[in-house]
Amino acid sequence: MKKIVVLTGAGMSAESGISTFRDSGGLWEQHRVEDVATIEGYIRNPKLVLDFYNERRRQLPLVKPCRGHELVAALEQYYDVTVVTQNVDDLHERAGSTKVIHLHGELMKATSTRSPNNPTQIQTLTQEHMDIHIGDKAADGSQLRPFIVWFGEAVPKIEEAAEESMKADIYIVIGTSLNVYPAAGLLQYVAPETPVYLIDPKDVPWTSGHRYTHIKKGASAGMEELLELLTKDL
Ligand code: OAD
C-alpha cells in the first residue's frame, strides 16, 4: 500500500465549527498568544490559561467531525495513512483515522506542570471531569495542566512526524497557514518526487521548494475532489 501523510491545521476543523487562529475573527484576535499559549503566560496567570483551555475543551462534545475529516479517514481504505495534526481537538480520531500524531498536544489530556512530557504523568480527561482547576494535582503532586504544547516549549512528536513525512508517497496539507514552526518545516522532509496537494481556500506562504497542486476549496469540498483524484486509477 502506498503511504499518504496528511498535515492538518485549524482550517481542517473550521467546518466543524471550531475557530481557526489567524483568520479574521480567529482565536488570536480574541486572546493574546502571550497570555494563553506560552509557558510564561501560564506561570504568570495559571487560572486564566486553565480557563481558556477548559472553555475550548467544553466545546468538543458539542462539535462533530466534518465531511473533510471523514474523507481523510476514508483514505485508509486505499492507502496507508498517517495524519500529522497541529489541532488539539479529537475530530480526526472520531472520524475514524487510526494513526494520528498530535504535534501540539491534545485537549482531552492533562499532564504535570513539573514534567509535562513524562508519559507516566499524562492522563485522559473524561466528559464528566473535563475541567482542570487550580489545586488539581498530577501523579507527581505538581499542578495539573493541559497537555498542550505552548510556544517556547519543545515539540516532542516532531521527530516522528518528520520520519513519517520522509516516507510519504503522497503528501497532503489541509488548512494550515504554515506560520508555526517546527510544524511548517515538515515539508522539507518530503522527498522531492513526492506529489504534494494543498487544500485551503486561501493562498498560504509556501517556503519549501516543493511544487504543489493547490485545491482552492474548504476542507470538505477539497477532500471530495482529492479523494476522487487519488482513487480513480486504483
Ligand atoms: P491558522 O489559523 O494559522 O490557519 C488556518 C488556515 O486554515 C488558513 O490558511 C485558512 O485559510 C485555512 N482555512 C480556513 N477555513 C478553512 C476551511 N474551511 N477549509 C480548509 N482550510 C481553511 O491555523 P494553523 O496553521 O493550524 O498552535 O495554526 C498553527 C498553530 O498556531 C496552531 O496549532 C496553534 C496556533 O497558535 C498552538 O497553540 C501551539
Residue 17's pLDDT is what?
Answer: 97
Mean pLDDT of 100-113: 98
Pocket lining: 172 vs ligand 1, CB cutoff 6 Å: no
* pLDDT of 208 over the 90 cut: no
Q: How confident is the model at residue 70 (pLDDT cuts 50, 70, 90)?
A: very high
Question: Do the beta carbons of residue 38 and residue 203 sit within 8 Å?
Answer: no
Pocket lining: 18 vs ligand 1, CB cutoff 6 Å: no
Residue 118's pLDDT is what?
Answer: 97
Cα–Cα nearest to 80, from 212, 210, 170? 170
Mean pLDDT of 197-213: 94
Among 15, 18, 23, say which to mutate for ligand 1: greatest number of ligand atoms within 8 Å of CB: 23
CATH superfamily of 1-17+66-104+155-234: TPP-binding domain (3.40.50.1220)
* pLDDT of 199 over the 90 cut: yes
Residue 145 phi, psi (nearest 5): -135, 165
DSSP state of 143: B
Element (H, E) at 59: helix 46-59
Considering only CA atoms, which residue is closest to atom 8 of ligand 1? 177
3-class SS at 57? helix
Pocket lining: 195 vs ligand 1, CB cutoff 6 Å: no
Domains 1-17+66-104+155-234 and 19-62+109-148 share a fold: no
Residue 214 grid coordinates: 493547490
Q: Quick one: which atom of ligand 1 is closest to the CA of 105?
A: 39
Considering only CA atoms, which residue is closest to atom 16 of ligand 1? 11
Sheet holding 80-85, edge to edge: 100-102, 80-85, 3-8, 170-174, 196-199, 213-215
Pocket lining: 89 vs ligand 1, CB cutoff 6 Å: no
Residue 55's pLDDT is what?
Answer: 95
Residue 184's pLDDT is what?
Answer: 95
Q: Which is the catalytic residue, given 104, 129, 133, 214?
A: 104
CATH superfamily of 19-62+109-148: SIR2/SIRT2 'Small Domain' (3.30.1600.10)
Spacing, Cα 154 to ligand 1 middle (Å): 20
Residue 233's pLDDT is what?
Answer: 87
Residue 209's pLDDT is what?
Answer: 87
Question: Do the beta carbons of residue 195 and residue 171 sit within 8 Å?
Answer: yes
Residue 19 identity (one-letter amino acid): S
Q: Where are the domains of the chain?
A: 1-17+66-104+155-234, 19-62+109-148
Mean pLDDT of 155-166: 98
Q: Quick one: which atom of ligand 1 is closest to the CA of 150?
A: 39
pTM score: 0.97
Considering only CA atoms, which residue is closest to atom 13 of ligand 1? 11
Q: How confident is the model at residue 75 (pLDDT cuts 50, 70, 90)?
A: very high
Pocket lining: 200 vs ligand 1, CB cutoff 6 Å: yes
Q: How confident is the model at residue 234 (pLDDT cuts 50, 70, 90)?
A: confident
Mean pLDDT of 113-127: 96
* pLDDT of 5 over the 90 cut: yes
Mean pLDDT of 116-120: 97
